[in-house]
């Protein structure tokens, strides 16, 4: 079966600025999809634990734009996959970028956002930390 993989220019632009270790993890995700489609990325295991991959309509109820974001995610069929970048403060030791969640799957700070067109076609949209960094909230002290 042929799998179709597209990418938004901003995803490519951001990806080229990562280190080789992060680029390899992006490629690993793309390789998995290219070889097994959505089912492969939805069931990818590291150290016997599943990497979290889920629909982006599951927004925090505390988000001020809860309804708009849920609708936007559903309208565009947005999903996100935990990318496994950076073992920040040694809190993400698994595969040097993941930690085990209370749901017993692997989560990371960085997410690959993508649009699921079908089980055999996705578009990589953006790649961002989670939660999104708010520079204004950073205390200079």
Partner 1 sequence: MTTLTASKASFNALNLFFHKVYTDLSNKITVFKIKHSPKNQSDSDFTYDLDAMKKALSQTKIAVPKSALESDESFDKWLNE
Residues engaged in binding partner 1 (CB under 8 A): 4-12, 15-16, 20, 23-24, 26-27, 30-31, 34, 54-63, 65, 68-70, 72-73, 76, 78, 80, 103, 111, 113, 115, 123, 125-126, 128, 130-132
Q: How far is the CB of 126 from partner 1 (least distance, A)?
A: 4
Q: How far is the CB of 37 from partner 1 (least distance, A)?
A: 14
29 phi and psi angles, rounded to 5 deg = -60, -45
139 phi and psi angles, rounded to 5 deg = -85, 120
Which of 43, 71 has the CB closer to partner 1? 71
Which of 104, 141 has the CB closer to partner 1? 104
24/18 Cα distance (integer angstroms): 10
Instruction: Tell me if 141 sits within 8 A of 29, measured CB to CB.
Output: no
Q: How far is the CB of 10 from partner 1 (least distance, A)?
A: 5
Q: How far is the CB of 9 from partner 1 (least distance, A)?
A: 5
- Comparing C-alpha atoms, which of 90, 113, 107 is closest to residue 14? 113
Which of 91, 141 has the CB closer to partner 1? 91
Instruction: Tell me if 119 sits within 8 A of 38, measured CB to CB.
Output: yes
Q: How far is the CB of 93 from partner 1 (least distance, A)?
A: 21
Which of 113, 116 has the CB closer to partner 1? 113
Helix or strand or coil: residue 68? helix
26/122 Cα distance (integer angstroms): 14
């Amino acid at each position: 079966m042929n799998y179709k993989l597209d990418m938004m220019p901003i995803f490519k632009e951001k990806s080229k600025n990562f280190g080789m270790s992060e680029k390899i993890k992006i490629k690993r995700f793309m390789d998995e999809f290219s070889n097994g489609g959505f089912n492969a990325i939805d069931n990818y295991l590291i150290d016997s634990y599943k990497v979290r991959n889920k629909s982006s309509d599951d927004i925090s109820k505390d988000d001020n734009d809860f309804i708009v974001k849920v609708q936007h995610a559903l309208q565009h069929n947005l999903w996100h996959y935990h990318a496994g970048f950076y073992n920040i403060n040694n809190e993400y030791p698994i595969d040097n970028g993941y930690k085990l969640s209370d749901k017993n799957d692997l989560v990371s700070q960085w997410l690959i956002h993508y649009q699921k067109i079908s089980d055999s076609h996705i578009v990589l949209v953006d790649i961002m930390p989670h939660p999104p960094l708010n520079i204004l909230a950073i205390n200079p002290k």
